[in-house]
A and B are shown apart, each in its own frame.
Chain A
């Protein structure tokens, strides 16, 4: 999924051939991130853009690419990859993009999308001279208005021990063709530096990656991400989600890769080795890292009541929990490539320094408890005729396996369909798992998903999915077994390469607790209707205009919720010489209730994605510019302005701001080598 952005090139932007700069790619990437963000969590999406940058800077040589190389292009489904490899095997190298037209499933539109991502060199790229390359980033962010947490309360010092500036630095360098190093450091607003037991910046991490691609294929020391099967057991990157990319539900994450994510709760840190031959790989990995835990020290030992996931270390309480427990992971992943199939098996052991014992509640009765757990998984994917199957079976201290199986098939040239089934036992625990499920945890869920993409006449594409899910145990804030539907339909109209219109409708229903004065626990059906219309016009390489309107309606029995609305206009200008660009957006939001919030992607500095939930009443203005001062030196500046009309304060607690206006600045510098 992490390479899902590339599909945007086709799905969301018809102007790919007009303008193929990184900045444009960034805009396309925003769409998918926005779609994914509607699930409402705080995933780190920065690596999404990293992948697209990599492919833009180093297009894939179609004549040398292996199946794994082609897997990086999410535009290509499993069947298309098989067909391409077979055609190349029979007829030899391709000379140009046009020669791909003869391959089954390669439409004209697909070729347009592929063009910036592939090259057709016959010679081996490795034979060219290597030049060390890399970049370094410095970023800061702060708000003009000062939250209460930075101010003394009477005689007491401020609650936040640090200042209100975010500091971020990242360095990544390919020293040789096989050796890469990376380093990242970050201090969130309010986090102290060089004091309160924080040795330097609050978060520092890095990696050294050696990739000889011989028997030893790769070694990573430091921070990395790893993914297995369909993510039931192992998914340390972003899990696949329901999105506008309705037929993209297969786990497309890299099996493993180094990482510079600053999300302190995902990813692994330690040693990863990968070795093998042409048709198999064996990847043992170890991760030992400190985690933040809410500890309870008792006479009979220390227990963890919960693992913290917010990554903040601003107050004394947060600092006390900083890196106060250890998490160990040991595992191995084996892959075997058998003609058109990939077989995978793996096992991992997850261990905590202290037992995890969350306060017992009916809904969390089957949550992971104790110090350690084991997971084993088996996975299979490959093509059969005109279908591509992908599946995983996983075990966890129980004989009842978790199952996830899907199939992609193309009944015709203009249509692709996908169907999947999942069934995860209530007592299945995989602390590092994140499969394609409705709930964030997945355990106790079964469901059936069906999606399609259909090319209609008049340059209209219909994308749709239906997902039926059932929870076989209580959920957080739901004292009943339940089920629900999630339906999405999107029409994309692209009359020409410069202009596209999107009409998207989403319906969701699920059961929720209702308030009650008595001793009963009534539940009711919560229904949600979301409608979005967006028109984007990019008349030239320089200009782009996007107008968007969202309506969000939520109905809960016994509760009156006004419909949420967002209306905004964005203008973007790129200097013809790519020396500078500027983007501005103005929008109004009217979503009194948080239930009807609207997720809106905001333009941001490179490698930073933000899709905040807009709610309340007010207006939002953003202006951002990027300048290339001298060759390989870029500067970003961004100003954001919130003006609420229905409140006198913003946020609460230590982040409370006694104003209805919030202004924020961001600056970033990048030096490329």
Chain B
């Protein structure tokens, strides 16, 4: 199985997909400014598919992201995550845009925890682009990620979107679909409390460095905060978790453009007694 995954990872890293390539910013990480490279709940479907390998319950989620509270810059998403004995599989849908321009993304992700210290994941995407007065265009891309835990208190994550630099073949020209890389390094003094330093680099934009903190203030409530560079933005969020349902909300403030927000619901189809994921 290792060999299969390795081969698969190699293949995917030549093949294609982030930032602007990311249609939906999940409420547990990207919406507050975190890279998401180390997210390990169902929401990692959006920010690093290797994280879904850590889920041992079937789950489904829906979310909404509002960019600067402008309707046209908002996106919505839904996903399901099904753990199996072989791999964890997730499927999902994202939509970004408005009446005259929109992107739909259908994704299928698979991930496996190869060892207690390693998770690998890949995500296949099919994007559909529509624009008023133009025919629709499709594009297939591939993303890949890895999460490592060299020590129970430390974790490293790396995620690459569209590494193969796939292009949209439009009417008269080709257009590169965005590619990006994110990496994060986390220190977890306790099981739920974590400090995370991350960087996201999209091919088209300057690198963003982020620092995030996640603190449980109650057995059912998690608070999150983050700072992101270029321009300096502050984000904060919260998660409210019950055995079968989790609600997450996030806000991010840009000094010129104002607030963005996101929220999401995650349903655990079958909960396991005593287990509660802090990021769900």
Contacts and interface: CB of A to CB of B under 8 A. Distances in A.
A105 interface: no
A495 B156 CA distance: 15
Contacts of A13: none
A498 to B, nearest CB: 7
A590 B206 contact: yes
Interface string A521-548: 0000000000001010101101101010
B34 interface: no
B163 A571 contact: no
Contact of A645 (B118, B151, B176): B176
Interface stretch (B7-15, B103-111, B132-140, B271-279): B7-15
Interface stretch (A264-272, A349-357, A613-621): A613-621
Interface in A547-588: 547, 549, 562, 565, 567-569, 571, 573, 582, 584, 586-588
A643 interface: yes
B185 A588 contact: no
A588 B163 CA distance: 9
A618 B156 contact: no
A537 B181 contact: no
Nearest to B144: A586
A495 B165 CA distance: 38
Given A539-B117, A586-B160, A549 B151 contact: no
Interface in B153-208: 154, 156, 158, 160, 163, 165, 176, 179-181, 183, 185, 199, 201, 203-204, 206-207
B150 A535 contact: yes
Query: Chain B at the A interface: mostly helix, strand, loop or mixed?
Result: strand
B165 A539 contact: no
Given A535-B185, A586-B163, A567 B207 contact: yes
A641 interface: yes
B146 interface: yes
Interface string B1-35: 01000100110011000000000000000000000
A605 B207 CA distance: 32
Interface residues on A, range: 35 or more
Contact of A535 (B9, B156, B160, B203): B156
Contacts of A495: 150-151
A387 B14 CA distance: 54
B158 A569 contact: yes
A569 B9 CA distance: 12
B148 interface: yes
A136 B146 CA distance: 38
Contacts of B206: 562, 590
Query: Chain A at the B interface: mostly helix, strand, loop or mixed?
Result: strand
B257 interface: no
A495 B160 CA distance: 28
Nearest to B185: A535
A337 B11 CA distance: 59
Nearest to B206: A590
A567 B207 CA distance: 10
A645 B156 contact: no
B118 A619 contact: no
Interface string B251-279: 00000000000000000000000000000
A82 to B, nearest CB: 38
B27 to A, nearest CB: 25
B217 interface: no
Contacts of A588: 179-181, 201, 203
A516 interface: no
Contact of A567 (B6, B154, B181, B204): B181
A669 to B, nearest CB: 22
Interface string A19-47: 00000000000000000000000000000
Contact of A543 (B13, B118, B154, B176): B118
B117 A537 contact: yes
A543 B149 CA distance: 13
B141 to A, nearest CB: 14
Residue among B10, B150, B151, B163 having the largest count of chain A Cβ atoms under 10 Å? B150
A299 B201 CA distance: 61
Contacts of A571: 6, 9, 146
A547 B156 contact: yes
Nearest to A639: B14
Contacts of A632: none
B6 A573 contact: yes
Nearest to A500: B150
B115 interface: yes
A547 B158 contact: yes
Contact of B160 (A537, A569, A623, A645): A569
A91 interface: no
Contacts of A496: 151
Nearest to A587: B181
B13 A565 contact: no
B185 A586 contact: no
Given A535-B185, A537-B117, A621-B163, A590 B201 contact: yes
Nearest to B117: A539
Contacts of B203: 588, 617-619, 645
B146 A545 contact: yes
A439 to B, nearest CB: 33
Contacts of A627: none
Interface string A581-600: 01010111010000000000
Contacts of B151: 495-496, 499
Residue among B151, B160, B199 having the largest count of chain A Cβ atoms under 10 Å? B160
A584 B9 contact: yes
A539 B150 CA distance: 7
Contacts of B176: 645
B150 A498 contact: yes
23 contacts: A499-B150, A539-B150, A540-B115, A547-B158, A549-B183, A549-B199, A565-B201, A567-B201, A567-B207, A569-B146, A569-B158, A569-B181, A569-B183, A582-B10, A584-B9, A584-B13, A586-B163, A588-B181, A588-B201, A590-B207, A621-B14, A623-B10, A641-B14
Given A495-B150, A539-B118, A545-B156, 15 more contacts: A499-B154, A537-B148, A539-B117, A540-B115, A567-B181, A567-B207, A568-B181, A569-B146, A571-B9, A573-B2, A582-B6, A586-B13, A590-B207, A643-B165, A645-B176
Per CB-CB distance, the 5 closest pairs between chain A and chain B, nearest first, are: A499-B150, A569-B158, A537-B150, A645-B203, A588-B181
